[in-house]
Amino acid sequence: MKVNMEQWKSLFGHIALRIEEEKEGLSELDRAVGDGDHGVTMSLGWEAIVEATAAFEGGDCGALCKKIAMTFLNAVGSSVGPLYATAFLRGAAVLQGKEELEEEDIVQFWLAAVKGIQERGKAQIGDKTMMDAWLPAMDALQQARAEGQGLLESLEAAVKAAEEGKRSTALLISRIGRSSRLGERSSGHIDPGAASAHIILSAFTEALTIRK
């Protein structure tokens, strides 16, 4: 499987669509542990990404990701803005100068992106954050690739791990961010950041599957 610039753009458009569809559900999750605006925040960020990708000219997939990083950061004022901006910048470095992406390029994009989020946010598994979805997903992605699985099969394994990680946050007590002020009251609720992480990865995989 190879992905060109227009196809790469369309993948992000599909993520934006899914985020919009799940916006209210994400905000509902956030009302239990935070300000209740996570869905709206993510929707604004991904709407801005769609506009930026539509206006982007050129064939460099890495350059597009740099544009996406700055666009998301400017559109989103909350703490999630710098995290995903860092993710796209790290992913951009992997794809720099590439006009057509191979399967391994896409794998390395995601690994670099998630590593960027972790290094920026400092969260670990068990802290009740998006990393409870992202880190198991990347472990599953790497394991599937090591076993010789193709890109779609590997991403499907990653999505499954992300969903399990998302669900695991309901049993956790928040250790980082505003929700950590709730202490034990944060238990019993799925982390909205983990939920949106799962949506992003599952929508990306879904779009690739449709394209195939």
pLDDT digits (tens, 9 = 90+) for 1-59: 899 999 999 999 999 999 999 999 999 998 887 778 899 999 999 999 999 999 999 99
Q: Is the pLDDT of residue 180 over 60?
A: no
Q: Is the pLDDT of residue 153 over 70?
A: yes
Q: Is the pLDDT of residue 183 over 60?
A: no
Start-to-end CA span in the chain (Å): 8
- Per-residue pLDDT of 114-140, as tens digits, reads 999 999 999 999 899 999 999 999 999
Tell me the pLDDT band of 210, cut-offs 50, 70 and 90.
Answer: confident
Run of H or E including 94: helix 80-95
10 Å Cβ neighbour count for 181? Answer: 11
Q: Which of 121-125, 152-156, 185-189 has the lowest mean pLDDT?
A: 185-189
Supply the pLDDT for residue 137: 98
**If 0-12 CB within 10 Å is exposed, 13-18 middle and 19+ buried, where does residue 5 land?**
buried
| Residue-wise burial string across 52-74, b where 16 or more C-beta atoms lie within 10 A, e elsewhere | bbeebeeebbbbbbbbbbebbbe
User: Beta partners for 4?
Assistant: 100
Supply the pLDDT for residue 65: 98
- Closest by CA to 25, choosing from 198, 184, 206, is 198
**If 0-12 CB within 10 Å is exposed, 13-18 middle and 19+ buried, where does residue 147 land?**
exposed
User: 151-168 and 103-121 helices cross at what angle (nearest 10)?
Assistant: 20
Can you say whether residue 173 is alpha, beta or left, with left for phi > 0 and alpha for psi between -120 and 50 degrees? beta
For the entire predicted model, the pTM comes to 0.93
